[in-house]
Structure 1
């Protein structure tokens, strides 16, 4: 009688141990599963917390930014599928006047703090302007430089047709500053409303030379020849950018400004010939 009882007790002990082990395994499996779902929920939550950029962002930008901003606009659309970047390039003073006059725009990128001030003084900027690049002047001549222009003084030669930006435009104000620093007087054949218009006069051979930005000379390729001059170092322009107060698409505007000021954006601008801020 004793042996059967002992065998029964042992059987119960073994069964109990097996049951406990199965419960432990089940608990571990359940814990692991719940941890995984919690991680997934956290991940989903973090994804939903970042707002998705959509729609059109309208950027008013200085004419000298045309090539680099057009490139950045394509990158912006690539990073944010379904968006569209549209640009209005021109003289910074004209763009500023349009903005204060009520023209719908999300971002303003000016070629000087003075023209940006037209907007900020009217309280039409939603953020404090950030200087994102700088630019330096250069002389653009006909290909091969047939008039042998080698200095700012050479532009005062009799018979030489020279074009400048209007004095109200940043490139024109900078050119005048460089001329004043050199104690030179120059009467151009025309004053142009933006730097691209001044450069075009040389490209079309309607002028022998123009004082423009180094970035514009670079963008023109072999259509013109660039001549550096030391006085340009005394007339370097800072370029500020700002989100506008009545921006129709503030979220997209912020995203575009972030791209411009990012390391990636700065690479594009540096390749175009802009100086770091």
Structure 2
């Protein structure tokens, strides 16, 4: 083999080796790029604090869901503000910083959506039905809504602007009944507390609140309650300080796990 031929052969070998190296380098580079792209496109996990404004009737179940959320997403914290849905809606439209609003009725949710303070369309996640809460043992022998209209019984209702009060009035109208309570309360928990403290003989509240109270009260079903079932909607709020965590919390509420917690508390499926 001539010197020229050997030089040509060595040149081809070097060229081949260089080409292989370049291909390998390109493959590694491509792998890193794909990995980087995949990492960049992965959704960020929720973090930080999510603030939830929720109807008083949701206190027990949402507190449980808040703990579940924090366990599922370490590094997060759920802060709740519970109260009458109308008061919460007024706070939101007044500029109170919050991420999520869960209302006890579509009517109070409309206060927020009409003010364009919702980031999307509210979704009904549960329904709630009324029940009569009496003193333990039901000493007044209350068996119907009509019994509450009799003299001698101290009855408490929620304010008519509050979903439980509006529902109670609707049930009374369905039965053709009139009732003058000893007081109107600002939210369902306040109405129930009057019975728990024996300051009232009975209150018209939600079945979920009667269940949460345990043996401190006794519940009485009444047929007119079927005419006043409330849908409970939830929505992401406009300009939510923690949008990602807010969306994740709403997803948990509407998930199968969330629904199990809510139905166990006495809520009806939507």
**Residue number in structure 1 paired with 2:17:** none
State the secondary structure of the residue aligned to 1:105. Answer: coil
Measured against aligned partners, the alpha-carbon deviations of 1:9-39 in whole angstroms (never above 9, x if no partner) come to xxxxxxxxxxxxxxxxxxxxxx9xx89x959
Report how far residue 45 of structure 1 moved: 2.4
- Flag structure 1 segments of 5+ consecutive residues without an equivalent: 1-30
Q: Where in structure 2 are the equivalents of 1:64-75 lying within 5 Å?
A: 64-75=57-68
Between the aligned partners of 2:220 and 2:149, the Cα distance in structure 1 is 15
Computed over aligned residues only, the root mean square deviation of the Cα atoms, in angstroms, reads: 2.1
Between the aligned partners of 1:168 and 1:138, the Cα distance in structure 2 is 19
Q: Where in structure 2 are the equivalents of 1:210-249 lying within 5 Å?
A: 210-249=203-242
Counterpart check, 1:81 vs 2:81: no
Between the aligned partners of 2:247 and 2:234, the Cα distance in structure 1 is 11
Structure 1 runs of 4+ off > 2 angstroms? 41-48
Select 2:194's aligned residue among 169, 193, 201.
201
TM-score, structure 1 as length reference: 0.85
Between the aligned partners of 2:64 and 2:36, the Cα distance in structure 1 is 33
Between the aligned partners of 1:204 and 1:193, the Cα distance in structure 2 is 17
Report how far residue 46 of structure 1 moved: 5.3
State the secondary structure of the residue aligned to 1:207. Answer: coil
Counterpart check, 1:113 vs 2:118: no
**Residue number in structure 1 paired with 2:135:** 142
**Residue number in structure 2 paired with 1:99:** 92
**Residue number in structure 2 paired with 1:159:** 152
Between the aligned partners of 2:40 and 2:71, the Cα distance in structure 1 is 19
State the secondary structure of the residue aligned to 1:99. Answer: helix
- Flag structure 2 segments of 5+ consecutive residues without an equivalent: 1-23
Between the aligned partners of 1:237 and 1:38, the Cα distance in structure 2 is 55
Select 1:253's aligned residue among 246, 249, 252.
246
**Residue correspondences, number:** 246
Between the aligned partners of 2:124 and 2:136, the Cα distance in structure 1 is 33
**Residue number in structure 1 paired with 2:14:** none
**Residue number in structure 2 paired with 1:20:** none
